[in-house]
Amino acid sequence: SARESYPVFLSFQDTLGLQVGWAWRGLVDAFRWDIAVRLITRNVEVRGNALKSFILNGISLLSVYVFDLFLHPLAQEQPPQKWLHRSISWFYRVLWLLPVVGVSLYLNASWCSLVAKRTFTLRHGLAFPYAGMTSTTSPNAYIAFLNSLATSAYRAVMIAMCVFLSFALGYVPVVGGIAEAIFFCWVNAYYCFEFIWIARGLSLSRRIRYLEERWMYFFAFGLPSALLCMWGSTLANAALFALIFPSYIIMAVHAHPVPSDPYNPSPRAPSPDPTSSSAPIMHPSPYIPIRLRIFASVIFINDCIVSVLSLCTGRRSGTRPRAFSPDQAGGTSEKMEGGAGDGVELRPLRRGPALRQTMAARRKFD
């Protein structure tokens, strides 16, 4: 019985072949421009919001290039007689460039949300649910305000930490540029899939776990946009990503991330026991990680913020705040972040011996 309960692993070559296949699937899904163009041209609502996003982000990108190619070189001249040139460059940046880019990124989030909602409805035939906390679940307005603050804090810290880590990786000698590009692949893929994950009821920790357990697919999906948005200045790269963001949201809604179960990626393996009714679970090779903790530092900072906010909530309501774990279903962090105490699995397994073996193996791997 002990021998039968011991997990069965695929070979290193087979696991590597599966990873390469998942990466190819991610690249294919990231180049489905035909789906994006077809939906934008055929649906009025998607076309209107995408067109507004294209126009405003195009203006932002043009403004950035005007500054980088014409005004920034003037600001580099140091003789006193060129003070007017430096002043023009400074005024252009403060009075035009930064406000336009800021407004563009702010409005782009709203328009992309509408594009995601309409695309999700057309794709799955369901209304796009809102996963945020509402005041009906809070005993008073103060706790509702803290819940809303925690939800905003999660996203703000996520963006801030990603920007900080990207800059930090860029300063690493020799491999800094490559590490920064690789990290940006996962960051871009995360934001492209974030809308559909929220629609499925996944909290932040579950969304990150879903990406980290399929790290090869999402690395390949985010590779084209990362390579496209790494050749200019910081503002130019941000404006360019905002320009193509609506199209990648449409591709993400129509994508099929693989594998469906990263702990049992080859469920059709033949059973060694002819009398057995179910095939054994074939786990990937232990030499290739199943879950790559890409956003571990982001989760740590987010949980620190949520712990502080939950402590304030507990003192206000007179209840004792509970300890939490970022991967614990129903934990404080997940309830505070998105109201997804019982997150929805994308493709749940059937109950039975196979499910029990998979859950036991997952605890061993974690």
Average pLDDT score over residue span 317-344: 41
Question: What is residue 148's predicted lDDT score, i.e. its pLDDT?
Answer: 58
CA distances from 100 to 81, 95, 173, 212, 239 (A): 30, 9, 34, 34, 10
Average pLDDT score over residue span 30-43: 94
Per-residue pLDDT for 345 more than 50? Answer: no
Cβ contact 124:76 at 8 Å: no
Q: Token pair for residue 146?
A: 């803290």
d(Cα 75, Cα 349) in Å, to the nearest integer? 61
Q: Across the chain, how many H-helices and E-strands are there?
A: 15, 2
| Identity of the amino acid at 311 | L
Question: Buried b vs exposed e over 15-54: b needs ≥16 C-beta within 10 Å?
Answer: beebbeebbebbeebbebeebbeebbeebeebeebbebbb
d(Cα 224, Cα 192) in Å, to the nearest integer? 12
254-264 residue pLDDT tens: 999 999 999 98
Per the model's pLDDT, the better-predicted residue between 195 and 145 turns out to be 195
Average pLDDT, the chain: 75
Average pLDDT score over residue span 299-319: 67
Q: Token pair for residue 280?
A: 């054994």
At CB < 8 A and 24+ separation, what contacts does 314-318 make? Answer: 316/140, 316/142, 316/143, 316/146, 317/139, 317/140, 317/143
pTM here is: 0.75
Average pLDDT score over residue span 271-285: 66
pLDDT above 90 covers a percentage of the chain that reads: 28
pLDDT band of residue 134 (cuts 50, 70, 90) is: very low
Cβ contact 12:287 at 8 Å: yes
204-262 residue pLDDT tens: 788 899 999 999 999 999 999 999 988 877 778 888 888 999 999 999 999 999 999 99
pLDDT above 70 covers a percentage of the chain that reads: 65
d(Cα 362, Cα 365) in Å, to the nearest integer? 5
61-115 residue pLDDT tens: 888 888 777 766 666 655 545 555 556 767 777 777 778 777 877 788 888 889 9
Q: Token pair for residue 206?
A: 């579950």
Of the candidates 349, 363, 296, 308, which has an alpha carbon nearest to the alpha carbon of residue 332?
Answer: 308
Per the model's pLDDT, the better-predicted residue between 39 and 204 turns out to be 39
d(Cα 236, Cα 218) in Å, to the nearest integer? 24
Per-residue pLDDT for 328 more than 50? Answer: no
